[in-house]
A and B are shown apart, each in its own frame.
Chain A
Amino acid sequence: MKRFWILVLMAAAALPLAAQSFPEGDVITYIDAVDAVNLPVNCKARMAVTDTYASGGDRASEGFFVRKDNKVVWVATAPASQKNFALLRNEDIFYERFATTNKVVKTSATANARGGETSNLDLTRFNTNLDYTVTYKGEESVEGKDCYRFELRAKNRKLAYSLVQQWVEKSTRMTIKKAFYAVSEKVLKYYTVTGAELENGRVKVIDMKYVDALKPEDTSSLRISGITVLKSVPDQFFTREYLESGRLFPYDF
């Protein structure tokens, strides 16, 4: 009986360590705010991706995207042979449009239509709470910056990595590092923010570097710039028919 009470006391003492309370209130609300710092719910922006390999070779592509919450359409503007290629995410469904023919076919979330370390998801995921259950895991320092660490567990394995670790800088509410894990909880890749410009508490330009955890010499540098809030975005932009009509055109703004 004495041993039982000792165990109960130990368990009670360990509780705060197991489920640390988040100092800034509700975690879900906080993560929504973190997402909003990176990218407004309705917006357009430029995106440039450069893949660099150990062999010394590299591959670059550029485009712009239009976002309406969890609907995103990404249109390539470079290289010239890929101009007009488009990737559409309409909630859980993905389509791609071929550059030369305007033909639209269904594609998957985990495929990487443009190659490199960035999957279709990486190019179009901007709403964390929709795809993950988020748990606060304490405070840590990343590259000298005070951060909160969160653990993200996939709600739907098709649409997400099984486990993601996210570090958010306390002072700016910017995500400065994310690590992506397989079902086996082995780290697959991670990204760190290598540079950012903020304006009125929101990101204006952000540079990220994706690293293949298994081959760290293979990286993808992703730059999002020209982030512009849009008052309204038509739902039609995110339909297969609109994409196939060719109306959404490579746009160099």
Chain B
Amino acid sequence: MKRIIVLIIVLVAGSVTLFSQEKSFITLTGDVDGQVIMNAPNEASVYPGPFTEVTAGGLVDGKLTFSRQYTTLGLLDFTFQDANVLDHQNGAKVENLSFLVNELYSDLSFGDLLYLRLGKQRLKWGAGTIFNPSDPVNPPKDPTAMRAVREGVTALKLELITKSISLMSFGVLYDAAGQTGVGSKVSTSLIPGSDVSLSGYWSRSESWTGALNASIAPLYEVPGWDTLQVWFEGSLYGKGKYAAFVQGTNPGAVVPGTADGIQYNLLFGASAQVPEVRTTVLVEYYHLSEGLSRGELGAVYQALRSANPLVLDESQGWYAELARRPGRQAPDYLFVSFSQPTVTDNGDRVFDKIGLTATCLLSLTDLSFFASGGITTTFVKDSSVDLTVDWAHGGNGTEFGNSPSAVSIALDVKVYF
């Protein structure tokens, strides 16, 4: 909270100075979202309650931007939410109001080369669509909760952007002093048709992380095939982020252990747009060295389902550990996505205003999956109605077979401003 107050003071002080100049603006953009989310519980899940069946409410997702002409001077990105959890049995309602500052920063530039950003901000790290396995800086993304708001981190970022190469250095401040870290990234598009970056980060608590990202459009010169892109991310880090599998003292019990040695993640991705049809197909493969094997994952879920109270008690630590790693419990995942911006693009009064998406995250280790399908309609100007259905499926000893929610349906009515 103190940090937020300091940031607001910095922003206001900076803005007063900058607004004395000509052509400065404050602009508010975003959307108002009325939503209903219904969840069907997964009876086979090992996770204890409470389980939320119906949530109804509204949120305002806004960006207040301070700019001079077309250059931002600062930004406040916030989410105000009023969520009501409804109990279907007795109709009771629990209201929860929240105001979250996702980003709050000031921008300064020194000439046309050097840029400084101070405040709560999202730092770009990695190429993954659903999550960035090597990201040591930002709060981890949950691939099964893509609607969740993404918060930034408090940081000072300095960027040197030239037309051929860019350098970024940053320092990140967390609640605990030991978590404070520093990092750098160098990126270039000098090799024709490619974007390459090399990143490094160090903090006392996280040790070091190094990552190489490369993306290339191999057929960019060939008309019709020019939308094909492939990308790769490889990362090494000096200290495990997650617990290792260790047998407990009671037969069948498991306890969270410490992962030793250098760990690594790999990501391969490809995407292309089908000509004429305009469907974008995206495929990603993730390999995480810290993922649990099929046998280990099965043993963990078996222990948490055990009728023996001693085994259950000793294995309790895995509840929190599993919850920390959504989409990261196993070593191998395949993500496939199909998205259609609009069904047609020829002026059709109905199908030009309907968009479709379908995604599936498949654990190649235990063959459980998390699938999602969505339909977006934009019949009224500056608004949309979205219907999304999520489905988690798998066996008793699998990651998605133990998702607390088996099916989730969300209806959103958004008005953009």
Tally of A interface residues using CB under 8 Å: 49
Known: A54-B347, A158-B222, A239-B166. A107 touches B227 (CB 8 A): yes
Chain A residues within 8 Å of B341, by CB: 115
A110 to B222, CA, bound (A): 11
Q: Which of B70-78, B198-206, B289-297, B387-395 contacts A (4 or more CB under 8 A)?
A: B70-78
Which listed residue (A111, A239, A241, A246) contacts B227, Cβ 8 A? Answer: A111
- Decide if A108 touches B163 in the complex (CB within 8 Å): no
What residues of chain B lie closer than 8 Å to A30, measured between beta carbons? none
Let me know if B384 and A55 touch, CB within 8 A: no
| B114 to chain A: closest residue by CB | A236
Q: Is there contact, CB below 8 Å, between B349 and A249?
A: no
With a cutoff of 8 Å between Cβ atoms, the chain A residues found around residue B273 in the complex are: 111
Chain A residues in 8 Å Cβ range of B162: 235-236, 239
In the assembled complex, which residues on chain B have CB atoms less than 8 Å from the CB atom of A22?
none
Specify which of A66, A106, A218 is in contact with B347 (CB 8 Å cutoff). A218
B352 CB → nearest A CB, Å: 6
Q: Establish whether residues A247 and B71, one from each chain, have CB atoms under 8 Å apart when the complex forms.
A: yes
Residues of chain A contacted by B107 (CB below 8 angstroms): 247
Q: How far is the CA of A246 from the CA of B168 in the complex (A)?
A: 15
Contact at A240–B29, with CB atoms within 8 Å? Answer: no
**Which residue in B347, B381, B416 is a CB contact (below 8 Å) of A53?**
B347
What is the bound-complex CA distance between A235 and B163, given in angstroms? 6
Tell me, yes or no, whether B223 is within 8 Å of chain A by CB.
yes
Residues of B near A57 (CB, < 8 A) are: 347-349, 352
In contact, B349 and A106 (Cβ under 8 angstroms) = no
Task: Give the contacting residue for A81; candidates B75, B220, B223, B384; CB below 8 A.
Answer: B384
Which B residues, 131 to 166, have Cβ-Cβ distances below 8 Å to chain A?
159, 161-163, 166
The one of A55, A83, A158, A235 that contacts B29, using a Cβ cutoff of 8 Å: A83
**Cβ–Cβ < 8 Å partners of A110 in chain B:** 223, 226
State whether the Cβ of B187 lies closer than 8 Å to any Cβ in chain A.
Answer: yes
Query: Whole-angstrom distance between the alpha carbons of A253 and B25 in the complex?
Result: 11
Give chain A residues whose Cβ lies under 8 Å from the Cβ of B347.
51-58, 218
**Known: A64-B70, A111-B273, A218-B347. Is A84-B29 also a contact (CB below 8 A)?**
yes
CB-based contact B382/A239 at 8 Å: no
Contact, CB under 8 Å: B382 / A234:
no
Q: Does B412 contact A (CB under 8 A)?
A: no
Smallest CB gap from A236: residue in B: B161
Give, as a whole number of angstroms, the nearest-CB distance from A200 to chain B: 24
Task: Return A84 CB to nearest CB of chain B, in Å.
Answer: 7
The A/B interface has a contact count, at CB < 8 Å, of 122
Residues of chain B from 252 to 273 with CB closer than 8 A to chain A in the complex: 273
Of chain B, the residue at the smallest CB distance from A80 is B416
**Cα–Cα distance between A80 and B227 once the two chains are bound (Å):** 27
Is there an interface contact between A239 and B163, defined as CB atoms closer than 8 Å? yes
Indicate which residue in B31, B195, B342 contacts A106 across the interface (CB closer than 8 Å). B195
- The minimal Cβ–Cβ distance linking B255 to chain A, given in whole angstroms, is 39
Chain A residues lying within 8 Å of B109, measured Cβ to Cβ, are: 247
CB neighbours (8 Å) of A235 from chain B are 112, 162-163
User: In chain B between 50 and 94, which residues have their CB closer than 8 angstroms to a CB of chain A?
Assistant: 65, 67, 69-72, 75
Known: A81-B384, A110-B226. A247 touches B195 (CB 8 A): no
Residues of B within 8 A of A248 (CB): 70-72
Chain A contacts for B169, CB-based, 8 A: none
- Chain A 32-75 against B: per-residue CB contact (8 Å), 1 yes, 0 no? 00000000000010000001111111110000101000000001
Q: Which among A75, A241, A253 is the interface contact of B159 at CB below 8 angstroms?
A: A241
**Residues in A neighbouring B113, C-beta threshold 8 A:** 236
| Residue from B65, B187, B222 in contact with A241 in the complex, judged by beta carbons closer than 8 Å | B187
Q: Write the chain A residue with the least CB distance to B229.
A: A106
Q: From known contacts A246-B75, A249-B65, infer whether A158 and B161 are also in contact, taking CB-CB under 8 Å.
A: no
Nearest-CB residue, chain B, relative to A253: B69
Nearest CB on A from B218, distance (A): 12
A247 to B117, CA, bound (A): 10
B346 at the interface (CB under 8 A from A): yes
A240 touches B223 (CB 8 A): no
Is A171 interfacial (CB-CB < 8 Å)? no
Distance from A67 Cβ to chain B, minimum over Cβ atoms (Å): 13
Contacting residues of chain A (91-108) with chain B, CB-CB under 8 angstroms? 93, 105-108
- In the complex formed, the residue of A with least CB distance to B187 is A241
A106 to B273 CA separation, bound complex (whole angstroms): 12
Tell me the smallest distance from the CB of B388 to a CB of chain A, in Å: 16
Do A245 and B223 touch across chains, with their CB atoms under 8 A apart? no
In the complex, which of the residues B115, B217, B382 contacts A80, with contact meaning CB atoms closer than 8 Å? B382
Q: Closest chain B residue to A157 by CB distance?
A: B223
B345 interface hit (Cβ, 8 Å) = yes
A191 contacts chain B at the CB level, 8 A cutoff: no
Report if A176 contacts B (CB, 8 A).
no
Would A251 and B69 be within 8 Å (CB), given that A57-B352, A110-B226 are in contact?
A: yes
Residues of A near B168 (CB, < 8 A) are 241
- Which residues of A have CB within 8 Å of B220? 93, 106, 108, 158
Q: Can you name 15 A-B pairs with beta carbons within 8 Å?
A: A52-B347, A53-B348, A56-B349, A80-B29, A84-B29, A93-B220, A108-B226, A109-B226, A158-B220, A235-B112, A235-B162, A236-B112, A241-B166, A245-B161, A248-B70
Q: Please give the residue numbers on chain B whose beta carbons come within 8 Å of chain A beta carbons, in ascending order.
A: 27, 29, 31, 65, 67, 69-72, 75, 107, 109, 112-113, 115, 117, 124, 159, 161-163, 166, 168, 187, 189, 193, 195, 215, 217, 220-223, 226-227, 229, 273, 341-342, 345-349, 352, 378, 381-382, 384, 416-417
17 further interface pairs, Cβ-Cβ under 8 Å (given A157-B223, A240-B195): A53-B348, A55-B346, A57-B348, A79-B381, A80-B417, A81-B416, A93-B193, A108-B220, A110-B226, A111-B227, A158-B221, A218-B346, A235-B112, A241-B187, A248-B71, A249-B67, A250-B29
Top 7 A-B residue pairs of the complex, sorted by shortest distance between their CB atoms: A53-B347, A80-B416, A234-B112, A251-B70, A108-B226, A235-B163, A241-B166
